[in-house]
Each structure stands twice: as structure tokens, then as C-alpha cells.
Structure 1
């Protein structure tokens, strides 16, 4: 059986791995993944844990990097999963089983989303480990945890109405409550170690350069081990789906899709094409630049289709059929609205569309 290896053996060669390919990407582990309570080595000193999460993503990838500190050897943990009983039990199985006796030396959060840092505080408490994040992600997480208002703010209802939500959809969302973030993210330490774009941090025997991106989140941290040709991408690059790029109530005049395009270009400049990419969701893959080009091309094509659709004035909710391949139900209405808003805002920034507000308070876009 063929051995799965890159030309420089950047990941662990194992005869049980049969590489597979899809749309120009190579999956060196052939779909093999760690099971519940298991870890799987993907490169020298780098291991993989996969945790279940609710919703269409189904799982989150966490990465363990061999490390040491003043107390001895351990592992640096990149992302921790959502604050759920099932996830905590999965971690207990890992640290009682394959990682019995192993400490977490530092807890690194790529970005503030709950499936990535929901248990970061729990890990820090349990292992007496410091938290490492970028400032933009840490502040955003702390703001959302602190916002414990039970009722949906009126400005949020107005925003949803402006996007074309019906009264029923607004009421259903309000019935779920406003502040859910604190329930799925454990309180994090008040102190953290700030990660800065471009700095190199030493983890064990490896040097990792911090490369930040935005669009999916404010200051998403990726980690590049250029010597070992390993790139921890978090959600900034995913192999089979595009990260959600949303415009919402917090910063309604932002241009997240423009920031995301800029981040794609930045990653192409700063990350070699032959790295083993470790994504936040999906399987590790090769040929990073192929994927970056495909994501850029896909979203620019959506913008072109959307521009044609705006020959007549359209609400945000009218644009779903041009942007998504699935029906948009209540459970994903918020994410779909945010992504559609990001595309419409990008058309505005490029001078290709204009927003108008009707007497009903609903926004409509049309080509300029």
C-alpha cells in the first residue's frame, strides 16, 4: 500500500493512510480521523482531536502541539470546543486515556466563536494555563459574555426588519432570548497573553509565526511553522465549505467581505503553497493556494450574480436564493442574513449597488 507523504515528510507517514483528492486538494490522511476520546498525530509533535458540535458543521478540530514550560513538558492546545457537557466529557476521556498525565501549558484561541473558545476558560482553570489570543478576539469574546440582557434590544429587531424579516421571524428569534453566548462560552481569565500579527512564538521545539486574518472574525489568529511546513488555519481557510463572512448590528458600516478578500491575498503572500493545512473544520489538506484561489473566485462570482439580480430592488432576504444552495430556515436565518448583508455591502463599496430605505423601514438594493 502506498505511503502518504509530502516530498519533505512534513506529516507523519503511515501505511494505513491512503491519500484522496477533491477539487485540486489532496487529503493526505485519506479521510481517517480521530474518534471520540482519541488523538491522532498529523506531524512531528502535532496531534489532532476532533469534537462534536451541534448544527451543520458537526465537528470542531483542536490541535495539540508538544510544548514545555517552567513546570515541565506538556502540550499547547489550539482551540477547545464548545461549552457543552458532551465536549467536557470528551476532553476528560482524552486526558484520562491517550494523554493521561499530560498538562496543557497554554490555551491558544484562534478566534472568539463559541465552538473554538467555549471551553478555553475551563481548560485554563483545570491546567492553570495562560490564555493566548489576539486583542480583537479576546475583547469581542469578553464583550459578548458580559452582555447578559435577557430581552432582544430594539435596535436588533429594527436591523432584522430592515433586512426583510417577517414579524413572525422576528418574534421567533426574540423568543430564543438575546444573550446565548455566555451559556456556551465559559468565563475566561481576566488576563491573557496578546498574540500580535507577525510575531514568532516558540512552542516546544517549533517556531510558529502568527498571521492574522479578518472577515470571518475581527482578528483571527493562524499559526505557521514554516520550517515544518505546517499551517494551523482555524476557520480562516476551510477545505470544502467557505467560512461565514457576515455583516451584523455590531459594526453595520463595516466591509467584512472586503477584509476577507484582503486576507486571502495576505495568506497567499505569506504562507507557502506546500504546507499541510490544519483547518478548524474538515480534514487536513495540501495545496493551500488552490483553495485560497477557489474561495476568492467563488465569492467574486456570487457578487457578479447578485449584481445582475439587483436590476430590480431587492431585500436582503430576497438574495438568499442567489447566494446559497439550501433552503434558509429559522435556525440559520441569522447567519444567512449576515452573509447576504456582507455581499450587498461589498457591492456598495465597489460602487455597483445602492441601498434605499422604504417607508416600511425595509432596505432594498438596486444596481447603480
Structure 2
């Protein structure tokens, strides 16, 4: 999900709306395109849902999380602005619970097909199998190797089991969306784009004719999407993937599009926002590099440098894995190296002698 800890600069953008729709209400983005919001039980308290007129029905982009409050909000929509209308298809941008959580419920309720990327569908299926003892132990070791205390690691290592409670079972089939596909919805044509870094193979939809970009969590106003390294890919470089995706958007999509993000307000100023996000992460890389120049640091040592305020276990999971994403980026660039000291992994400048 989007990171509710990082607040990145936003000088370059211009919000397209003064306020967001209330829960259970909709706001028209363009003729035949609606915006609504579903509540989340987190500090970032909502996810944006978009509906596109599809004949006599609506195609929905993302679904919200599986909670009683989210379900009640959908029921309010079906009794109000969507009364008498069916959902023709469910498009899911990525596998995080706030986006895919109610996809299975909607598909089942309306006998609607699920459209998403291969990584999203299969990733959700794998996570939904739950953590066994071996996987939980692997997560615990992952955190402690990077300097987290046993006590905190014992708490955050079981966070993955929350996924099962927040995501309804997916349909047994889906329609795969692939980069450069053209998706036709209600007489509109959308080019399928794929972003990475926040989630593998995250689906974005772009209408060149109407200058609309459904950007999911790739580009958001005010906040930076969470960029995390996970235990099953400890040496991964999601930050590198994210920065490359931002450069792709600047090259491929005009600056004057209306960006429809997965959270917060729609806005104009895509190119400037991409540039700001790049600068934001480079500044955080600078902080880590400077800290490691004074002494070898574990990832746990570096977390307070990027996230100085107190963090609950939910926030610590995102902060820790995002800090590691910046460390791995610096290792990939040859600016840091990682060594094992006293059973912990520490990071120091690449030219530093042992």
C-alpha cells in the first residue's frame, strides 16, 4: 500500500479537485467516469476507486480492503449512486490488500471477470496460502540479520498473516493484462502500462484521447508510495525499478494528463511530480550514504535516520523494508557494500577497508 510515513515535496503538481467524495458518494471525473473512495483502517485512511461506464454497467478499477466498513461503503454505493447497475468487470492494479481485497467478492456478486497482471494474480494467490512455520522463521531471520531486535522481529514477522483476513478469495480464472495491451471499456480505449517498484507489474491505464492516466500507486500527490524489499528477495532492487518506471512515465506520457492516483487527490503535473519523487529518494540515499561513512550501520540503525518519529509495528514493517530498498540501491550502484559482523549485516562505503 502507499506509504503513510513519507511526505515528499509536491511543488510541481496542481490538484484537479478541491475535495474528495465522501464515503458512499461519487464524483464525476469526466462523462462516464466516476471517482469514489473506500475507507482503510490505517493512517492513510482511504483508497480511490474509479468506475468507467461500460454499456449499461460499470467497470471498476480497484476494490478496497476486506473490512466490515469497506463492505458497508460498497453497499451504500449500490443502494445509492450505483443503484440498479451491475459491475461488468473488475480491474485490479496490484496485489496489495487495499486494492485487491474485495475483488473476489465483487466478481462473485456480479459474475464479473477479473482483469489484472500475472504478477498481481499469482502473487495474491501465493500470499493467500498463508505463512507456514518455515516462512515465518525466514521472515524473522530476515529482520534480525539486518539488526532488528528479536522482540520486534517476532511481531513484524507474522504481519503477513493479516493478508488472509483482508483479501477475499480470488476467482479461479482471470484475464491477464500485459504492457502495451489496448483495453476497450464502454467505447473508450486505454493503453495498458506497467509500473514497478511499489508492486511487481502494477497496472496503469492511459487514455491518449482524453489525457487521463489511472496511475494506481505509482505516482501520488503529497506521499511517496512505499518501496520495500521483502524476505523472499532480500537482495532485490525495487527502488531501482521504481525510479526506472518514473523515467518511463516522463518519456511516454504527456505532462498535461490528469493523473488519477490510488490515494489522495487527482492532479496535473505528472513530469514534475516524477522528478520530485526521484529527488526525494536520492536525498534519502544521500542520508544513508553519509551515515554509513561515519560507522558501519545495520538497516535497523538506519531506520531512525529516514523515519525519526516513533513507529508502531505496522509502520515499522514499511519503514524497515523501505530503508533496505535504499541500501540495496546504493549497493547496486557500487556506493555501499554489505558485510556480516557478529551475525548481523552491516553497511559501509564500498571503498572502506575491513
Shared fold (TM-score, shorter chain, > 0.5): yes
Aligned partner of residue 41 in structure 1, secondary structure: strand
Choose the corresponding residue for 2:234, options 252, 271, 294.
252
Where 1:116 maps in the other structure, the secondary structure is helix
Tell me the TM-score normalized by structure 1: 0.89
Kindly report which structure 2 residues correspond to 1:67-86, keeping only aligned pairs within 5 A, or say none. 67-68=54-55, 73-86=56-69
User: How many angstroms does 1:230 deviate by?
Assistant: 0.8
Q: CA RMSD in A?
A: 1.6
Q: 1:96 aligns with which of 79, 86, 90?
A: 79
- Equivalent in the alignment of 1:27: 15
Change (3 A) 1:354 1:237: same
Query: Secondary structure of the equivalent of 2:224?
Result: coil
Q: Which residue in the other structure is 2:3 paired with?
A: none
Query: Residues 284 and 306 of structure 2 are in contact (CA less than 8 Å); yes or no, is this contact kept in structure 1?
Result: yes
Which residue of structure 1 lines up, in the alignment, with residue 7 of structure 2? none
Output the CA distance in 2 between the equivalents of 1:43 and 1:269: 25
Structure 1 equivalent of residue 247 of structure 2: 265
- State TM-score, norm by structure 2: 0.93
> Which sections of structure 1, spanning at least 5 residues, go unmatched?
1-21
1:235 Cα shift? 0.4
How does 1:308-323 map onto structure 2 within 5 Å? 308-311=290-293, 312-323=295-306
Within the candidate set 135, 138, 163, 1:155 is matched to 138
Match of 1:212 in 2: 194
Q: Which runs of 5+ in 2 are unaligned?
A: 1-9
How far does residue 305 in structure 1 lie from its aligned partner after superposition?
2.0
The answer to whether residue 218 in structure 2 is matched with residue 221 in structure 1 is no
Query: Within 1, Cα distance between the matches of 2:162 and 2:300?
Result: 24
Contact 2:16 2:265 in 1 (8 A): no
Asked whether the equivalents of residues 91 and 115 of structure 2 are also in contact (C-alpha less than 8 Å), the reply is yes
Q: Which residue, 323, 328, 331 being the options, matches 1:348?
A: 331
- Residues of 2 paired with 1:151 and 1:178: CA distance? 13
Flag the structure with more relative contact order, 1 or 2, with Cα contacts below 8 A and sequence separation at least 6.
2
Does the 8 Å CA contact 1:150/1:179 hold for their aligned counterparts? no
1:256 Cα deviation (Å)? Answer: 0.6
Q: 1:93 to 1:66 in 2, by over 3 A?
A: same
Structure 1 residue 253, shift from structure 2 partner:
2.2
